[in-house]
Structure 1
Amino acid sequence: MKQIYAFESQEEYMKHLNTIEKFSEKLKVYQHVLEEKYALATLPKGIVWTSMNLATTFFSEIPVPAYTNGDVIYISPDLSAWRRLLVEQLEGQDISEIEDFYAHCSDDYLFTILAQELTHHSNLFIEEYNGDTKLNTWFEEGMCNYLSRKHLLDHAEFKEVTNIEVELVEIFKDKYGQHSLDEFESNFPQSRNLSGRMFDYWRSYLIVEFLVEVRANQDLDWIFNEYNNWDRAGRTIPLLEHFEMENFFN
């Protein structure tokens, strides 16, 4: 993968160089995990390392500075900016323990976000596009999030992040939870604010985490076999219904 640096000054580039180099080396290790276990065969063309501002206003209007556009991953390595953004998700809610976690989150947590973007390139995912909208986005997004966290966080960190997102879904379900996860991407034009978008990512992760950890007793082969069975059967019902998860948050 090519490494592209898109900062507005050499000073800003130098400020983040150590993080970029550290993440680049760690990503090579995680890449091998994906290749050996999760059918990663074709790498993205490159990674664009850039600022929070450029990622969310110049290269895209997505309010989160980590995404894949075509065959290129865009991400900001600015941990301080990420901490501010993650706290912003709370919309001023008085949730001191969650605010404290986000305000002091480690670069290990930030690295899982980059790793998640690489996981999207796995050939395990068989989703299709309907126009510009990807179908069954919840499964791929949730699984990419789950795999990166499961492999890269220790057990305590993994459980802490999971419990935080359980609480966030409970807090915001009345405000943002009036649609099915089958409508994951179609909901975004109506919810361009940060928390509205993140709500579906939280839900997608929690469904996949439950499927793997509880329903399948950590048997990922069973999960992907069911996923492929659903596809081969002609997708006659929504994937959420196939996994009997359509009422998970009720």
Structure 2
Amino acid sequence: MKQIYAFEQKEEFDRYQDIIQKFGNKLKNYQKILEEQYALNDLPKGVIWTTPELATTAFSDIPIPAYTNKNLIYISPDLADWRKLFLQQLEGKHLPNVEEFYENYSENQVFIILAHELAHHSDLFLDEFEDEREEGIWFEEGMCFYLPRKLLLSEKEFDEITTVETELVNAFKDKYGNHSIEDFGSSSYEGSLSSIMFDYWRSYLAVKHLVEIRAKNDVMSVFDQYHKWDQEGRKVSLVEYFELEFLFE
């Protein structure tokens, strides 16, 4: 994958150069894991490193400065901006543990966001980027967070992010949880960051439940069931197939 730098000022590149190099090296190692174990057969053409402003205005209008398409991954490596962004998720709610976590959000956790974007390119996922992605989106999004968190974070880091996102789901479920996890993204019209992120939190927790509780940590058996759902003609929604309707009641 090519490393592409999209900055308006050389000073911006200079500011991020060290973390970009660090993340680039770590991504190569994660890429090998995905290639060897999780059917990463076709890589994107490159990673575009850019500022939060350009990521969310020039390249996209998505309010989160990390995303991917068939050819390119876009990401901002600005740790301070990620901390600020994630604190905005609280919408003024007083959640001390969550606030402390995001005030000290680590480089490792930002790297997981980049690793999440690369995981989308695994051929284990059924839908292609150009497809109308309507069914089972929650599974892909949740798994793309679960895999790098489980594989790359320490046990302490993994437990911290899980605890934080569980608390966030509980805090916002009355406001944003009035739709099935199957309707991933349906709250985006609300226009708030939290309404968008709510479905990511739920999706990660649902996949974690599938892997660690249902499948006793056998992630490939979960993928097997996912493929079986598709092969059988997707007769019911994926959340019904996995019998997860109760999970966030």
- TM range, normalised to the smaller chain? over 0.9
Partner of 1:27: 27
Q: Which amino acid aligns with 2:139?
A: F
Q: CA deviation at 1:64?
A: 0.6
The secondary structure found in structure 2 opposite 1:3 is strand
Whole-angstrom CA distance in 2 between matches of 1:132 and 1:38: 23
Question: Does structure 2 conserve the Cα–Cα contact (< 8 Å) formed by 1:48 and 1:74?
Answer: yes
Q: Which amino acid aligns with 2:93?
A: Q
The secondary structure found in structure 1 opposite 2:73 is strand
Whole-angstrom CA distance in 2 between matches of 1:78 and 1:16: 7
The secondary structure found in structure 1 opposite 2:3 is strand
The secondary structure found in structure 1 opposite 2:48 is strand
Partner of 1:191: 190
* Cα distance change of structure 1 residues 67 and 214 upon mapping to structure 2, 3 Å threshold: same
Partner of 1:179: 179
* Cα distance change of structure 1 residues 134 and 46 upon mapping to structure 2, 3 Å threshold: farther
Partner of 2:154: 154
Deviations 1:169-209 (A, max 9, x none): 00000110111111113442x13311000000000000000
Whole-angstrom CA distance in 1 between matches of 2:242 and 2:221: 11
The secondary structure found in structure 1 opposite 2:217 is coil
Question: Does structure 1 conserve the Cα–Cα contact (< 8 Å) formed by 2:20 and 2:77?
Answer: yes
Whole-angstrom CA distance in 2 between matches of 1:186 and 1:234: 24
The secondary structure found in structure 2 opposite 1:214 is helix
Partner of 1:66: 66
Q: CA deviation at 1:127?
A: 2.5
Partner of 1:243: 242
Question: Does structure 2 conserve the Cα–Cα contact (< 8 Å) formed by 1:129 and 1:135?
Answer: no
Question: Does structure 1 conserve the Cα–Cα contact (< 8 Å) formed by 2:69 and 2:129?
Answer: no
Show the 5 A alignment for 1:35-184. Answer: 35-127=35-127, 132-184=132-184
Larger deviation, residues 230-239 vs 132-141: 132-141
Q: CA deviation at 1:131?
A: 6.9
Whole-angstrom CA distance in 2 between matches of 1:147 and 1:191: 29
Partner of 1:232: 231
* Cα distance change of structure 1 residues 128 and 14 upon mapping to structure 2, 3 Å threshold: closer
Matched, 1:217 2:182: no
Q: Which amino acid aligns with 1:35?
A: E
* Cα distance change of structure 1 residues 224 and 25 upon mapping to structure 2, 3 Å threshold: same
Q: Which amino acid aligns with 2:103?
A: A
Q: Give aligned-pair identity as a percent.
A: 54
Show the 5 A alignment for 1:196-207. Answer: 196-207=195-206
Whole-angstrom CA distance in 2 between matches of 1:123 and 1:52: 29
Question: Does structure 1 conserve the Cα–Cα contact (< 8 Å) formed by 2:176 and 2:187?
Answer: no
The secondary structure found in structure 2 opposite 1:73 is strand
Q: Which runs of 4+ in 1 moved over 2 A?
A: 127-135, 185-188
Whole-angstrom CA distance in 2 between matches of 1:67 and 1:231: 26
The answer for unaligned runs of 5 or more in structure 1 is: none
Whole-angstrom CA distance in 2 between matches of 1:130 and 1:238: 21
